[in-house]
Structure 1
Amino acid sequence: MIKLKKLTSALVVCVALSVTATSVMAAVQPNMAKVEERKARKTQIVGERVGKTLVKAFDLYNEEKLDEALAVLLDAKSSNEFDTATLNRFLGNLYATKDEKQAIKYLTMAVKPDLLTFADQAASMKLLADMLLQDKQYQKAVKAYEDWIMFTGEQNSEVYMRIANAYYLMNQHDKVLAPADDAIRFATKQIEGPYQLKMAALYELKRYKDLIAVVETMVQLFPENKQFWVYLGNFYTLTEEYGKSLSTLQLAYSQGYLEKDSEVRMLAQMYANNSIPYKAATVMEKHMKSGLVKKDKNNLTFIASNYLAAREFLKAAEYYGEVAKMTNEADAYRRQGSAYLSIQRYNDAIVAFDKALSMNVDKQSGVYMNLVDAYFYQKKYKEAYAALMNAKKDPAMARQVRSWESYIKDKAKQKGVSL
């Protein structure tokens, strides 16, 4: 991890400076004078009868007799507004453990008159917001969390995080960003959650440049989170920045962060996209042999085609042969034959081409022309001429056939070979 930390440490400093250099207003601006007034107001206490009821209910709750505790509270009545609000608060707290909708009902009644002590009112408002979020009443939850901020004056990272999450769950992705930024701003330490929400929202909004900027920050702040490196490498492809994608994935790979089949295949594809076919093939080959990458037609063909592009013809022939054995497809034999032909392995090429022809490969005339090459350069003029006559059956090959026909006849005559 030393190399990775050195690489990102300077960037982290830059990010920290950029965050503190500008002063941005929070999404919710409480009136702090009113907050102080609320904190200073006279504390009320419940009446004796209600107090005894609360003690009894609390004792039952501690004995894990929740239903009995609720029954005691539901049976209690008071004409005093503060007492009633307090009873409703206790009912809301207890229902929160078993029935969200009932909890919402009683907590709403508890906070509405704004008569509870500052601490109790704040706690009840927060719990109400949590219950609304849990009950998937997302818009109401947002309002409840904002009311809590206005009431307490507290700029709380976790609350902004929940507001951002509620907007995301409502698919209001454009509204996720401001509270997510506030969650980052007011956090006591750097946390991943708000950045992940911003990432998800920007992806849905197709704001790919902004998305990449956020994920670049994420890998700088949380370099040991393996998944963030994979995300960044993948997201660079959305803006066709394949060089950056490859660099990012290479760094992740060097740190041992690419642990899944899909991640290794992504790296290999980036090598291919950046015209580094040899690395594309060898990375896939290595992890196929280890068992991480599945040995299937697509992956074998990928290795073969990239070895071919890297002019590693023998390796390409080997892997096209693997594809052929697995799939019994004529085209795989044709490709294997072409690879052998490129390195003058003529007999191996002939075997592969003959196999392709026996399976009715597409564009047979082209395969016959390849056989012409393979036989001719072994001075097998009779076989080369026979292959040429088969190619001649395709009118599209007329020009090539004419140029070869006289040449083969001349060579055969010189060598005394009867065609």
Structure 2
Amino acid sequence: MNKFKKLTSALVILTALGVTATSVNAAVQPNLAKVEERKARKTQIVGERVGKSLVKAFDLYNEEKLDEAIVVLKEISSNNDFDSATLNRFLGNLYATKDEKQAIKYLTLAVKPDVLTFNDQSLTMKLLADMLLQDKQYPKAIKAYEDWILFTGEQSADAYMRIANAYHLMNQYDKVVPAADDAIRFSPKPETNHYLLKMGALYELKKYKELVAHTEIMVQIFPENKQFWVYLGNFYTLTEEYAKSLSTLQLAYSQGYLEKDSEVRMLAQMYANNNIPYKAAVTMEKHMKSGLVKKDKNNLSFVASNYQSAREFAKAADYYGELAKLTNDADAYRRQGSAYLSVQRYNDAISAFDKALSMNVDKASGVYMSLVDAYFYQKKYKEAYAALMNAKKDPAMSRQVRSWESYIKDKAKQKGISL
């Protein structure tokens, strides 16, 4: 992995510089002076009656008597804002383990007067936001997380990630991106989920150039994440950068990162798209033999046609033969015959063409013309002429037939062969 270290190191430096330069552009901007005032406010203590109920409820909770603990807290009330907020906070925490909507009700009551200690208010606001997200109240959850950031002054990667996720769940992908950016910016270390969420949003928004640029960063920060290389190779095709797609997939392949059928087929297709048919065929062939890639109609056809494009006609013929046996397809036999003809294996070509004709191949006249070639170059002029007469039945072949007819007759006459 040495080749990746320089890339990763350079990117870490750039990322650090980016954080320093752009951190002030976060989505939520807390008033830090106000935050300090909240932290400095005096700590209050609950009244004796409420305190006793809280202790009793806590003991019941420790005994796993959750319902009894809730009953104890609901039986007591207070006109004191701090006592009421504390009771509601405990009720909200208890309900959080069993009833989201009740938890949301009491946590909302607890945070509304803003009289709890700084830490308790902060924890309660965060739990409320989490409960709203869990209850699929996404707009309210987003506002709750933003309120928590404003209250605490904490630029939390986790909070921004949850905001981004809420927007994602509402399919508001344009809002996912800046929230995910904030999650990335404020995370103590790079987290794959932050990058994946932004990647998914950019894909949904069809912002393919930005998607590619973002995924390039992902493979540099997480060079050993196999899937990110595959994503990048695939995304390059969206911007029609096929050479980059191929080079990315080649590098991933050389590192052993392409482990799935679909990934190997993508690499092979990129070779084909970049006019490297031999590598396309060899790559697919190798993994068909290993069993990773299925030996099905599409893959056999791919190998055969790419070997043919690479002028490896004998190998192409072999694979067209396998395709023909698998599919019982007349055209596969026709293609096999043409490949054999190209390497002057005339008897094999004739056998394949005859098989195609016996299966009522489309455009039989073309196959008959190929038979003319195969027979003629074996000096079997009588058979060549018979094939030509069959081709002659198709008016579309009249020009080709005329050019061959007199030629075959002359050759046959020279050899004393009666047609």
TM-score above 0.5: yes
**Structure 2, unaligned runs of 5 or more:** none
Cα distance in 2 between the residues matched to 1:189 and 1:81: 41
Shift of 1:17: 3.8
Larger mean Cα displacement after TM superposition, 142-151 or 22-31 = 22-31
Q: CA 1:20 to 1:312, structure 2 compared with 1: closer, same or farther past 3 Å?
A: farther
Equivalent position of 1:364 in the other structure:
364
Equivalent position of 2:157 in the other structure:
157
Q: CA 1:9 to 1:272, structure 2 compared with 1: closer, same or farther past 3 Å?
A: farther
Q: CA 1:347 to 1:24, structure 2 compared with 1: closer, same or farther past 3 Å?
A: farther
Cα distance in 1 between the residues matched to 2:95 and 2:52: 20
Equivalent position of 1:109 in the other structure:
109
Partner SS state of residue 275, structure 2: coil
Q: What pairs with 1:365-404 in structure 2 (closer than 5 Å)? A: 365-404=365-404
**Counterpart code for 1:25:** N
The answer to whether the aligner puts 1:269 opposite 2:273 as a matched pair is no
Equivalent position of 1:285 in the other structure:
285
**Counterpart code for 1:178:** P
The Cα offsets for residues 159-190 of structure 1, whole Å up to 9 and x where unpaired, read as 01111111111111111121211111111111
Cα distance in 2 between the residues matched to 1:204 and 1:27: 21
Q: CA 1:6 to 1:28, structure 2 compared with 1: closer, same or farther past 3 Å?
A: closer
8 A contact 1:167–1:173 mirrored in 2: yes
Equivalent position of 1:189 in the other structure:
189
**Counterpart code for 1:233:** G
Partner SS state of residue 106, structure 2: helix
Cα distance in 2 between the residues matched to 1:224 and 1:260: 16
Equivalent position of 1:414 in the other structure:
414
**Counterpart code for 2:217:** T
**Structure 1, unaligned runs of 5 or more:** none
Matched residues, number: 419
**Counterpart code for 1:158:** D
Partner SS state of residue 25, structure 2: coil
Shift of 1:153: 0.8
Larger mean Cα displacement after TM superposition, 16-25 or 345-354 = 16-25
Cα distance in 2 between the residues matched to 1:21 and 1:119: 30
Partner SS state of residue 176, structure 1: helix
Q: What pairs with 1:243-392 in structure 2 (closer than 5 Å)? A: 243-392=243-392
Cα distance in 2 between the residues matched to 1:230 and 1:366: 43
**Counterpart code for 2:409:** K
Equivalent position of 2:236 in the other structure:
236
Q: CA 1:345 to 1:14, structure 2 compared with 1: closer, same or farther past 3 Å?
A: farther
The Cα offsets for residues 339-397 of structure 1, whole Å up to 9 and x where unpaired, read as 00000000000000000000000000000000000000000000000000000000000
Cα distance in 2 between the residues matched to 1:36 and 1:14: 32
8 A contact 1:82–1:116 mirrored in 2: yes
Q: CA 1:80 to 1:7, structure 2 compared with 1: closer, same or farther past 3 Å?
A: closer
Cα distance in 1 between the residues matched to 2:38 and 2:308: 76
**Counterpart code for 2:323:** V
**Counterpart code for 2:307:** Y
Cα distance in 1 between the residues matched to 2:11 and 2:83: 56
Shift of 1:24: 4.2
Partner SS state of residue 188, structure 1: coil
Partner SS state of residue 361, structure 1: coil
Alignment RMSD, CA only?
Answer: 1.2
Cα distance in 2 between the residues matched to 1:14 and 1:132: 36
8 A contact 2:4–2:220 mirrored in 1: no
Aligned-residue sequence identity (percent) comes to 83
Partner SS state of residue 306, structure 2: helix
Cα distance in 1 between the residues matched to 2:328 and 2:100: 61
Cα distance in 1 between the residues matched to 2:187 and 2:345: 67
Equivalent position of 1:213 in the other structure:
213
Q: CA 1:397 to 1:324, structure 2 compared with 1: closer, same or farther past 3 Å?
A: same
Cα distance in 1 between the residues matched to 2:363 and 2:189: 65
Cα distance in 1 between the residues matched to 2:23 and 2:34: 24
8 A contact 2:320–2:336 mirrored in 1: yes
Equivalent position of 1:43 in the other structure:
43
**Counterpart code for 1:227:** Q
8 A contact 1:184–1:194 mirrored in 2: yes
8 A contact 1:219–1:229 mirrored in 2: yes
8 A contact 1:12–1:220 mirrored in 2: no
Cα distance in 1 between the residues matched to 2:101 and 2:37: 32
Cα distance in 2 between the residues matched to 1:16 and 1:400: 72
Shift of 1:13: 3.8
Q: CA 1:18 to 1:88, structure 2 compared with 1: closer, same or farther past 3 Å?
A: closer
8 A contact 1:284–1:293 mirrored in 2: yes
